[in-house]
Structure 1
Amino acid sequence: IAMFHTVFNVITTLILLPLSNVLVKAAQMLIKDKADDKEVMRCKFIDDRFLETPAIAVAQSVKEVTNAIMVAQEALNLSINAFTSKDYSKLDEVELYRKQLKFYSSSITKYIIKVSNKEVAYADEKTLGMIHHALTDVDRLSELAENIRRYCRTVEETGLTFSPAVMDEIKHMQSVLDDQFAAVVDVFEYRVESRLPEIEAREDIVDDCKKSLLEAHIKRLNEGECKIESSSVFINLVGNLERVGDHLAKIARGAVQ
């Protein structure tokens, strides 16, 4: 029996040896595909192994929400850039970001429920509550990115145009929001509470931008300088940008309460 087993192994090896490179490449392709799928829908910081140390699990959850906030910023900037540049080639990526954010929200929510079932310190309980409320605002940011994506498609399909001055103002609002995002990350993850007044000030700037843009738009309408058809897209776009600032401020305020 031993001799037969040895002969069988030798013959099998001789048959498969010429095919070894093909088999290795096939295995690599299969493993790579699986890894890529997991990379798209995989949390970066939370892990069930941290649950035995709730304080660490809470800290990792905060990092995961911070990552979600930054992904939401990427989705929003992609939509806004498409609008201001009139380059709509990457708009479909917004939906990929939204799916990713939905996955993050669901995964983090399930995770903090597991954490809350452990013996958690009072300070960490408050942080878990903060995370829960922040996720709601991140979901809203994702929806706003999708709204702006749809406005871009409307502009693309109807051929609506906006003046360079309007585009510059929208870019200015975007720049203010980017600064607000950076400050929110500092407050939320690193508890740099001194940046909260800056966040609220930038929220006011975005509000003022919206007001001045709408006033100028109404003036142009009355003077016949722009089409009525553009009003719906323009008013909704500016309103959505204002709401981004509102949700960012809510995340920051929730982090310092």
Structure 2
Amino acid sequence: MSINDVGMLFSFIGGLGMFLYGMNIMADGLQKSAGGKMQKLMGFLTKNRLMAILVGAGVTAIIQSSSATTVMVVGFVNAGMLELAQAVGVIMGANIGTTITAWIVSMSEWGSVMKPEFFAPLLLGIGAFLVLFTKSEKKKKIGEILVGFSILFIGLSFMSDAIKPYREAPIFAQAFAVLGRNPVLAVLAGAVVTAIIQSSSASVGILQTLALNGVVNWQSAVFITLGQNIGTCVTALISSAGAGKNAKRASVIHLLFNVIGAVVFGIIMFILFRFNAAWGAAAINSVEISVFHTIFNVLNTLMLIPFANKLVKLSTYIIRDDKEAEIAEITPAGEMRRHLDERILENPAFAMDTVMGEVNVMGQSALENLKAALEGVETGNKELIRSVFDKEKIINEMEKVLTSFLVRVDNLSLTEGQHKVVKNLFYTISDLERVGDHAENIAELAENMRKDEISFSKKGFKDLKLISSETILALESALKARELSSTQDAIQEADYERNVDKLEDELREKHIQRLSKGKCEPESGVVFLDLISNLERIADHATNIAGYVVSESRKPLPALDEE
């Protein structure tokens, strides 16, 4: 091998690296631009199978990877967010969405003006300028998309230029002739290459680069493409290794879908090439690869839609349930850990949406514990008071689970706005944990009242009920503001919190006066003051939570009370 050959090899490897890196940057920018839109797509999955297919295609077109989409689906199934029947539609759609990359790569042959060599450097310059010198988050996202798009095409150009001097070399003709004559070997080659680089989009792009230089024939290209569709299943299969039974079944459905399609269309194309050998031996270009890739995936989906339930049933035969039923964690913290499946980190928007939902779950747990603690004060119910202590342990566990997951979310490719929300979620779960602590304090006071037979007067209970009601309304408004990102509910919370502050001052002063006049037992007076102090602090934490929501809307943040 001469120094020139080594240089060409380096150019090809460098071009491949730029192609993969550019695809990653472009997908990142597209994903950031999509933002909350991708979160809303999940809501459509419950509609019908056709909608699930469209969602799968749309998400894959945005993130430029059917493997990543399928890994997410495995995560959703494992977390119980998707049924297997719904997952089938998304997986089918993912195969259609992945054809977008092939069409982007084939732009080189659309015409001289569309050649990436012509406009990619300009787009790279514009994109870099937007990323480096603009402050607008929206413009930075556009810049990332342009940079990724340009690097992708420059990488393709590098690969193509490295191959050009060798397009007349006998090795290419011989290799593709062998693959064309042996469909099984061609399918295997496509599957192995795709499994190694973990991206069917990238492997199809490499095949198209070879086709651009006229070294690939129809017969070998068709069977290699079918193999690439099988190879892309490896990522999801690996991902499902530590998951539950249904998650494993989702990855098996993906494999079954692609293998059945490859076998059926492989037989059809083999017969067609037998009848028209000249067509099979003719050179194929990148546009024709895109056309076949798209037709195959669309027809395969149409063919197997009626048998979707059969695929689900077949997957249950392959991945059988254990003889002894799996025992799932039944605590809210255990359920939360299941929902926050690491596979959903493949898509930052979905990860954000899921973790927001789990923060709301923690908030409702803290609210329920507060109500239970206050009822314990009123009734002295021993079991109810004990349940508050048990739930507080769960709330503490929730804080650990959420904090750990949020750390990982914060390290994903997020927009500036999403990073701010993640930071506020860190603060929110800390505030919710403190609400839980105060509810536990109230339960401890209730237990002391029961043991020491301490009671309040009718007036005392009436006053306590009044401030308790306002505190609960404040926390409910804050949680609703967080759940709906509603500044209106955040403003409403501020009104309730002011009422709590006012009541706490008034009740404290009145109670101290009653104590000084001997109208109230000192023991009950101390407990009463501790109770209203805990309630006032809970309202402060509610104001903190509402304040984070207001800060995200970029409106003036209301003044927060110090605890």
TM-score tier after normalising by the smaller chain length:
0.7 to 0.9
What CA distance in whole angstroms lies between the structure 1 residues aligned with 2:500 and 2:490? 15
SS in 1 for 2:518: coil
Higher Cα Rg, which structure: 2
Match of 1:141 among 431, 435, 442: 435
Q: 1:112-191 maps to which residues of 2 (within 5 A)?
A: 112-191=406-485
Note if 1:225 corresponds to 2:519: yes
Deviates more, 1:206-215 or 1:44-53: 44-53
What CA distance in whole angstroms lies between the structure 1 residues aligned with 2:331 and 2:384? 22
| 8 Å CA contact 2:355, 2:406 repeated in 1 | yes
| 8 Å CA contact 1:79, 1:149 repeated in 2 | yes
| TM superposition score normalised by structure 2 | 0.39
Match of 1:35 among 303, 328, 342: 328
SS in 1 for 2:385: coil
Deviations 1:204-232 (A, max 9, x none): 11111111211221121122111112222
1:72, distance to aligned residue in structure 2 (A): 0.3
| 8 Å CA contact 2:333, 2:395 repeated in 1 | no
1:112–1:40: structure 2 CA closer, same or farther, 3 Å change rule? closer
User: Which residue number in structure 2 is paired with residue 100 of structure 1?
Assistant: 394
SS in 2 for 1:92: helix
Q: 1:199-218 maps to which residues of 2 (within 5 A)?
A: 199-218=493-512
| 8 Å CA contact 1:183, 1:198 repeated in 2 | yes
| 8 Å CA contact 1:186, 1:192 repeated in 2 | yes
Deviations 1:130-157 (A, max 9, x none): 1001111011111101111110111111
1:79–1:141: structure 2 CA closer, same or farther, 3 Å change rule? same
User: Which residue number in structure 1 is paired with residue 178 of structure 2?
Assistant: none
After superposing on structure 2, the runs of 4+ consecutive aligned residues of structure 1 that deviate more than 3 Å are: 36-40
Deviates more, 1:230-239 or 1:170-179: 170-179
| 8 Å CA contact 1:84, 1:170 repeated in 2 | no
User: Which residue number in structure 2 is paired with residue 4 of structure 1?
Assistant: none
1:85, distance to aligned residue in structure 2 (A): 2.3
What CA distance in whole angstroms lies between the structure 1 residues aligned with 2:482 and 2:358? 11
Deviations 1:78-106 (A, max 9, x none): 11111022333311111221121111111
User: Which residue number in structure 1 is paired with residue 403 of structure 2?
Assistant: 109
Match of 1:254 among 545, 548, 551: 548
What CA distance in whole angstroms lies between the structure 2 residues aligned with 1:40 and 1:107? 8
User: Which residue number in structure 2 is paired with residue 14 of structure 1?
Assistant: none
User: Which residue number in structure 2 is paired with residue 13 of structure 1?
Assistant: none
| 8 Å CA contact 1:41, 1:100 repeated in 2 | no
| 8 Å CA contact 2:389, 2:443 repeated in 1 | no
Q: RMSD of aligned C-alpha atoms?
A: 1.8
SS in 2 for 1:90: helix
1:203–1:93: structure 2 CA closer, same or farther, 3 Å change rule? same
1:40–1:250: structure 2 CA closer, same or farther, 3 Å change rule? closer
Unaligned runs of 5+ in 1: 1-25
Q: Which amino acid aligns with 1:212?
A: E
What CA distance in whole angstroms lies between the structure 2 residues aligned with 1:201 and 1:37? 37
Q: Which amino acid aligns with 1:198?
A: Q
Q: Which amino acid aligns with 1:55?
A: A
Match of 2:364 among 70, 81, 91: 70
1:109, distance to aligned residue in structure 2 (A): 0.9
1:37, distance to aligned residue in structure 2 (A): 4.3
Q: Which amino acid aligns with 1:226?
A: C
1:46, distance to aligned residue in structure 2 (A): 2.5
What CA distance in whole angstroms lies between the structure 2 residues aligned with 1:206 and 1:92? 27
1:169, distance to aligned residue in structure 2 (A): 1.7
What CA distance in whole angstroms lies between the structure 2 residues aligned with 1:200 and 1:222? 33
What CA distance in whole angstroms lies between the structure 1 residues aligned with 2:332 and 2:390? 13
| 8 Å CA contact 1:88, 1:152 repeated in 2 | no
1:196, distance to aligned residue in structure 2 (A): 2.1
SS in 2 for 1:251: helix
What CA distance in whole angstroms lies between the structure 1 residues aligned with 2:410 and 2:333? 27
What CA distance in whole angstroms lies between the structure 2 residues aligned with 1:36 and 1:50? 20
SS in 2 for 1:41: helix
| 8 Å CA contact 2:474, 2:539 repeated in 1 | yes
| TM superposition score normalised by structure 1 | 0.83
1:27, distance to aligned residue in structure 2 (A): 3.8
Q: Which amino acid aligns with 2:434?
A: R
| 8 Å CA contact 2:515, 2:521 repeated in 1 | yes
Deviations 1:169-208 (A, max 9, x none): 2112222222222211221121111222211110011111
Deviations 1:18-49 (A, max 9, x none): xxxxxxxx945xx4xx2254666220743222
Match of 1:55 among 336, 349, 352: 349
What CA distance in whole angstroms lies between the structure 2 residues aligned with 1:136 and 1:150? 21
